[in-house]
Amino acid sequence: MENSIFQVNLSGILKVLSDSLYSSWEVFIRELLQNANDAITARSLKESFKPVIEIDFFETGTSRVLQIKDNGIGLTADEMTEFLSKIGSSSKRNTSDMFDREQQSFIGQFGIGLLSCFMVSEKIEVESTAWNSTSTMRWIGNTDGTYAIEPTDYNGYTGTKVRLAIKKDIALTSDKLTFLLHKYGDYLPVPIKYSYNAGSEITFQKEFPWLTRSTGSEALMLGNRVFGERFSHYFPIQDSKGQTQGLAYVLPHRTHTTSVSKHVLYVKRMFISDSCGDILPDWAFFVRAILNSDNLSTTASREDIYHNEILEEVRESLGISIKKYLKRLGDSDPEAMQEIIVTHAQALKSLALEDDDFFAFIKNWFIFPTTQGDLSLKQIQQQSSSILFVSDLDEFRQIAPIARANNQLVINAGYIYDTPILLKLQERDHTGKTRQINPEYFGNILNDIDIEIYDLIRKRIDVLQAILIEFDVELDIKAFSPEHVPAMLHMSQDAIQKRDFKSIRDESDSLWAGVSDAILDFDPGFRAKLFLNYKNEIVKKLLYTEASKKIDPYIQMLYFNALMMGHYPLSGKELDRMNENIMILLNTNL
């Protein structure tokens, strides 16, 4: 037997395989199973037969030998030279080759899988009898870059046998091998029979649960085992062509929108990854899936999939499948739907913002905090003639007691996605019943006082207004409940920003003051509006007290109190004045 040399630097290739291409030496089992499965597929295109993959593991002392045998199409001597001795040459690369079949029927395409065996063995022995032949050939490859091909005694069967003497530093045991055969071989269409030291056989062959009449409990148990979660909801999922399909599980707990999604993916029934994050749309982070695909292509390592147009089509199609499930669930099991909505509100609101059809379906299920508790949009529409929402949490806190006292339902839209959802609803509401409001809205709809009363206190209101001008505050008076609230303040976000810059300018040197003047337009208009409550006893005392009595500290303190109730920041000037007023009031009363 004459040795030949591989047509590349084999040691360099092996370093690339172990360091860069493959994540672990364990993948050699996958490569052997894949080659055996593809050989059987090729023969099945020629004739009908009973396929099988047989694996034997022999362990005696420090010696460990692994043998894998298939009854596939086999290889001739020329084919051994072409496909085993030329790196990157694959028997499955060309549709016009000896197999005469559709390339899509095969898992592998790259012609490097067998070399993964060099990660666990110094030598690879391949014995094969080609279909319709009675000649058996042996190919032996070595890590030193040499190989040899020779005829051997006819072994009496069509197919291929690979024999490996496992290296001492490779931690391959029978238990480990059993685990790897389950991982990579359970769902292959060919039965795998495994024997340890010529003992009793174990057969590996399962069917995907979505292709059988598995019970719901069996499907949930699979999800619980694979993902380590206690799922309550699952559903079948597939792309529009039915070539990528499986089961999707709804996570039983909240998860962040930026969390890493990990799905289990098989390609042509071969396990590829248990951390595939690209197979579902980004918004579907609340779902975990187990999928098998016949139309996706794997990378050279077969541990990931190609990012191409086919993947994008599959992602979009699977996303549609998830939406359809949620729509069906909303009709058939509202309680289960509500449970999912509560748990995964952020994800579903994010999806609704991107998808108009989904928004139209799901909007009424969304739950919002309101002045009357947490309510769904459907409940809000039933209880109120209008949908009023406040985008700022601090403004909502200021409005809430007044809204409740006046039996007005208001939504707190200060949480993520709530304002965009309600703004989208407002765009589609041609009745004008959906409105974004602020404290000024309530000030404008609250009851005006009688004109006779207003005439009596007009001069006092002008005096109070003059006191507040230095703080850029406009004064108005209303009559509203609850009576214990003396005043309510409104300040727009633009006004808050200008107010902060003005405070910095007033407290800075001339250089910064000049820069800020050039950047911002400090118009002289009022930046805040203070609504006094005529029903409040303190306000009444302030309005009807003797004209000679100094009232500056009292109206200023009502303004400062309204600032703090609305969670607006006090400027340095306001803070100093408030402290001065406290001392004045303490001295006056003590």
Q: List binding-site positions.
A: 31, 35, 70, 160
Handedness of CA 227, 231, 236, 238 (dihedral sign): negative
Answer whether 108's CB lies under 8 Å from 37's CB.
no
Tokens of 135: 């000649």
Instruction: Give the contacts of 526 (CB within 8 A, at least 6 positions apart).
Output: 472, 473, 474
Residue whose structure tokens are 């359970």: 186
* Backbone dihedral angles phi then psi of residue 214, each to the nearest 5 degrees: -65, 145
Enumerate residues 6+ apart whose C-beta is below 8 A from 321. Answer: 237, 238, 239, 248
146 Cβ partners below 8 Å, 6+ apart? Answer: 3, 4, 5, 6
Segment holding 221, helix H or strand E: helix 216-227
Strand order of the sheet with strand 287-293?
233-238, 244-250, 287-293, 263-267, 270-276
Within 13 Å and on the Cβ side, how many CA atoms surround 205? 14
| Residues linked to residue 264 through DSSP beta bridges, in sequence order | 290
Phi-psi region at 199: left, alpha or beta (left = phi > 0; alpha = psi -120 to 50)? beta
Q: Which residue has the tokens 């005529």?
A: 534
Q: How far is CA 84 from CA 150, 235, 241, 343, 344, in A?
A: 14, 44, 36, 54, 52
Burial class (CB in 10 A: 0-12, 13-18, 19+), 307: exposed
Q: Which two tokens stand for residue 544?
A: 């009807």
In eight-state DSSP terms, residue 432 is: S
Residue set of the binding site for ATP: 31, 35, 70, 160
Q: Name, in order, each residue with C-beta under 8 angstroms of 578's C-beta and a sequence gap of 6 or more.
A: 556, 557, 560, 570
Residue 233 near residue 256 (C-beta atoms within 8 A): no
Residue at 64: amino acid letter? R
Q: What's 235-260 look like in SS3? A: EEEECCCCCEEEEEEECCCCCCCCCC
List of residues 6+ apart from 215 with CB closer than 8 A: none
- CA–CA gap between residue 415 and residue 486 (Å, rounded): 28
E runs forming strands in 243-353: 244-250, 263-267, 270-276, 287-293
Q: CA–CA distance from 57 to each of 62, 165, 266, 523 (Å)?
A: 13, 10, 26, 87
User: 290: which strand partners?
Assistant: 247, 264
